[in-house]
Each structure stands twice: as C-alpha cells, then as structure tokens.
Structure 1
Amino acid sequence: MVPGGGVVKAERDDTPVLITEAAPSYDEEYSARKRKYVTMMALRLPCLILAGIFHDTWWLALAFVVVSVPLPWVAVLIANDRPPRRAEDVNRYQPSATAIEAGEHKVIDGH
C-alpha cells in the first residue's frame, strides 16, 4: 500500500490505447499521398504508348494524348493536398427540462 490509499502495480502496462477517432500520422498521410502521385504518373506512360500504338486511329490516339496531358498537373495537386480536417461534434451536457421540476407550482405571496 502507498500512503494515498491506492495500490501500486509491480508491472507497468505498456499496451497502446486504441483511439478510433485519431487522425493518421503525418508519415502515413505523406506515404499515401506519394503512392497516389506515383500511381497517377505511372498511368501517363501507358497512355502515351497507347497513343503511339493507335496512331492510325487518330481520334483514339488523340483521346489518349488528351488524357495524359493533365495527369502531371492533377497528380501534383492531389499529392500536395492534405485531407480536410474533420468537423468534430462536441458532446455537451444538455439537462432535460423536467429532470427536477415537474408540474405546477403554487406561489405564496408573503405580504
């Protein structure tokens, strides 16, 4: 027993506490954005190769080129954009109106 009346455990509990509403760490978020960027930039090369393959069908080749042109710009925008902050609802205590007082009250006038 310790002087405060509490019991001290001999071993410390080092298991992590699960926080379900916690945002992902900066490193996790950064690696996810890098994966998105690499994926989008990896799609550009096949589009250009397919445009070369389908050069006889001009409209299909043009469609592949048109798709591949904005991909670097879009990839940079997505990679540099952090996810929006979540709006948190604050849990506030709201007492019910009839918790203590209910019904009519007689008013006594003391003149």
Structure 2
Amino acid sequence: MKRQAYQPILITDASRSQDDQLTSRQKRYVLMMGVRVACVIVGAILVIVEAPLLWLWLPMVALGMILIPWLAVLLANDRPPKEQHRLAGRFQVNRRDETPPMSLTAEERPHKVIDVEP
C-alpha cells in the first residue's frame, strides 16, 4: 500500500499586513498614472510633429488617457480576496484523489508527537 506524505498544519496562515497592501496599491497607482502622463506627452508630440497615421495613433493615446485613470482608481481601492473559511473544506465530500483518514492503518495515520524534556 502506498504511503501518503504527511502535510504539516500551519499554526497561522497570516496574510500580508494592511500597510504592505496599501504600499503595493500606491505603487501600482503611481505607475499607472505615470503611464497616463506618458500617453499625454506622446499625444502632444504626435500632434506637434504631425506624424503619419495620426488618425490611428491619437485615438489610441486618448483611449489610454481615459481608461488608465479609471483602472488605476479601481485597482488602488481593491484588496486581496478573502481566504475561504478554514473549516469549509472539512464539511465537503471527500475528493476522489484523497484517501479517507479511517481507511489508513494505525501506523499510516498521521499522529501527534509530543516531546517532553525536563
């Protein structure tokens, strides 16, 4: 009988701190607004130089100037998704690839080891 690898249970599955999340959202917002500024500058340069295919480039740049701030605000206000409740998986039907715990012999079942040192 094939023995399953025992996966230790973590004491805590701590998520990133609120400050770390806020910092990463601020960086993403500043980066996206930088891209918007670049779109404005590229659009101005294209108009001044009277570039070929200006009718194609200007709508693309304008679309970037309109969509990027909207997306930047949405992403800056977004937070990571909530993790599922840790007991939610225990009440589901056993998956096919998992062996039910009671079908294992006593030697194969994971067990607690308590070290008692004086």
Q: CA offset at residue 21 of structure 1?
A: 3.0
If you compute each CA radius of gyration, which structure gives the higher value, 1 or 2?
1
User: What is the SS of the residue equivalent to 2:102?
Assistant: coil
Q: CA offset at residue 88 of structure 1?
A: 5.2
Q: Which residue of 1 aligns with 2:5?
A: none
2:21 maps to amino acid: E
Length-normalised TM-score, structure 1 = 0.61
Moved over 3 A (4+): 88-92, 97-100
Length-normalised TM-score, structure 2 = 0.57
1:63 counterpart = 2:50? no
1:72 maps to amino acid: P
Q: Which residue of 2 aligns with 1:40?
A: 32
Kindly tell me the number of residue pairs found equivalent between the two proteins.
82
**Greater relative CO, 1 or 2 (CA 8 Å, sep 6+):** 2
Q: Identify unmatched segments of 5+ residues in structure 1.
A: 1-18, 101-111
User: What is the SS of the residue equivalent to 1:24?
Assistant: coil
Percent of aligned positions that are identical: 35
Greater helix content: 2
Contact 1:52-1:61 at 8 Å conserved across structures: no
1:24 counterpart = 2:30? no
1:87 maps to amino acid: Q
Deviations 1:30-80 (A, max 9, x none): 111111111111110110111111222221122111111121111111000
Q: Which residue of 2 aligns with 1:96?
A: 102
How big is the alpha-carbon RMSD for the aligned residues of Structure 1 and Structure 2?
2.8
Q: Identify unmatched segments of 5+ residues in structure 2.
A: 1-10, 91-99, 107-118
